[in-house]
Amino acid sequence: MKYLLLTLFAVLSLMPRAAENTQLPVESFASLRAFSQVKFSPNGKNLSFIRNVNGELVLMVYNRKTKEADSIIRSDNHTIFFDWYEWANDEVLLLGARYIQRQFGGPKYTSTRLYAYKIGGDGKAKLAIKPNFNRDERQPQFGDQVISFLPDKKDKILVQGDFDVANAPGVYELDLSTLRKKKIQRSRSKVIDWTADRQGNVRIALKMDEDEFEYILYDEDRDNRKTLFKYKAFSPDVVTVLGFDKDPNILYFKALKDGYDALYKMDLTTMKKELVFSDDNYDFDGHIFYSSLTGEVAGFTHSQLDEGIRYWDEDLNNLYNGLRAVLPADKFDIDIIDTSKEQRLYVVYVSGEQIPGTY
């Protein structure tokens, strides 16, 4: 923390001199960022980022010890897009890529694929999950749906995909070392989505029957189930499940309050609902996020908050307040982009009238 603030001070000490010069050109603010989505590997030894190279986007990994950067995979930003990427563990980087395709004689459509890149491997990003045609599996249209980075199995994740029946996904455990998958939850009639808790247990199924939706809760052994929410599309009863807390009996969701979406949580042992946040004039449009150190919900975002974010985690809140002490809100916008697993290393994005954006 001390080193971080000293570094920021060193950068900011140069700013008054820059401000005396002519203002930065509009192009500095209007063009695509040269670098974006900077993230630490959990152990902090590597930094990953998206680099803009003449309009094409390249996912890269920078080794903080050797000072070397490797290109992983490239997007033309026209027919191939990077939807998301995340470190699965210290050695494996996952990326969800979206493709715009056209059926022969038909309309355009979107499909996604999941890629895995291993630090110290052969230097190539590989398709992480694919159908076994010997078992008559089909290629899912959306093949990048990770539902859990299993906390107790660093080389394995949970993914969902409709490999057996179209629009009815099952859940698979994917081994990131071998890229082999094992089915742990078969597809069920009319179930279109699965949600896992923070321990990696598949707990919630979303069922769709024409215009009626139902969230079904399973116990941790998936032996018993009960209805959590049931509603018709476009009705005032619409609910969106956002995720579990570290406590597998605490669930966060979004539902209407006085005509606007609000943030709620529920104790699944008592089924008691509690309002967490609401805005009298706007829908709650944010999400919850987690502490990489504790695994607990660390706060939430909402575009109408003064800072756009609210921290519950004491460590992250102290960091944010420390940053604000040297980067006042009337001059700078700041975002804590990412941290290492132990929350001792941070990536902060700073922008302002004289800074188009700096990591």
Q: Which of 16-30, 80-94, 130-144 shows the lowest mean pLDDT across its residues? A: 16-30
pLDDT at residue 6, as a whole number: 39
Can you tell me the mean pLDDT for 20-45? 71
pLDDT at residue 126, as a whole number: 97
- C-beta neighbour count of 347 within 10 angstroms: 18
Tell how many helices (H) and how many strands (E) occur in the chain.
4, 27
CB 82 within 8 A of CB 100: no
Confidence of residue 25 (pLDDT cuts 50, 70, 90): low
CB 92 within 8 A of CB 118: yes
Helix (H, G, I), strand (E, B) or coil at 130: coil
pLDDT at residue 9, as a whole number: 38
Q: 92 vs 50, 157, 240, CA distance in Å? A: 16, 11, 30
> Quick check: 60 pLDDT over 90?
yes
Q: What percent of the chain has pLDDT above 90?
A: 82
> Quick check: 184 pLDDT over 50?
yes
pLDDT at residue 313, as a whole number: 96
Angle at 186 between CA 182 and CA 189, to 5 degrees: 160
CA distance 30 to 278: 33
- Looking at the DSSP assignment, which residues form a beta bridge with residue 108? 102
Contacts 24+ apart (CB under 8 A), 332-337: 335/309, 337/37, 337/38, 337/39
Q: Which of 4-8, 28-32, 66-70, 93-97 shows the lowest mean pLDDT across its residues? A: 4-8
* Residue predicted with more confidence, 97 or 18: 97
DSSP 8-state symbol, 22: P
Can you tell me the mean pLDDT for 196-200? 97
Can you tell me the mean pLDDT for 44-50? 97
Can you tell me the mean pLDDT for 262-268? 98
- Mean of pLDDT over the chain: 90
pLDDT at residue 19, as a whole number: 39
pLDDT by residue (tens digit) across 204-262?
999 999 999 999 998 766 668 999 999 999 999 999 999 999 999 999 999 999 999 99
pLDDT by residue (tens digit) across 83-114?
999 999 999 999 999 999 877 777 889 999 99
pLDDT by residue (tens digit) across 309-318?
999 999 999 9
CA distance 131 to 139: 6
Q: What percent of the chain has pLDDT above 70?
A: 90
CB 164 within 8 A of CB 211: no
- The CA dihedral of 189, 143, 171, 340, to the nearest 10 degrees, is -140
pLDDT at residue 102, as a whole number: 79
Can you tell me the mean pLDDT for 6-23? 40
Cα four-point dihedral sign 169, 110, 105, 76: negative
Identify the CA nearest to 343 among candidates 309, 310, 318, 307.
Answer: 318
> Quick check: 175 pLDDT over 50?
yes
Confidence of residue 33 (pLDDT cuts 50, 70, 90): confident
Can you tell me the mean pLDDT for 71-77? 93
pLDDT by residue (tens digit) across 280-309?
999 999 999 999 999 999 999 999 999 999
Can you tell me the mean pLDDT for 147-158? 96
Residue 313 class from Cβ within 10 Å (0-12 exposed, 13-18 middle, 19+ buried)? buried
Provide φ and ψ at 9, rounded to 5°: -60, -40
CA distance 158 to 139: 17
pLDDT by residue (tens digit) across 312-336?
999 999 999 999 999 999 999 999 9
Exposure string for 258-285, b = 16+ CB within 10 A, e = fewer: eeebbbbbbebeeeeeeebebbeeebbe
> Quick check: 8 pLDDT over 80?
no
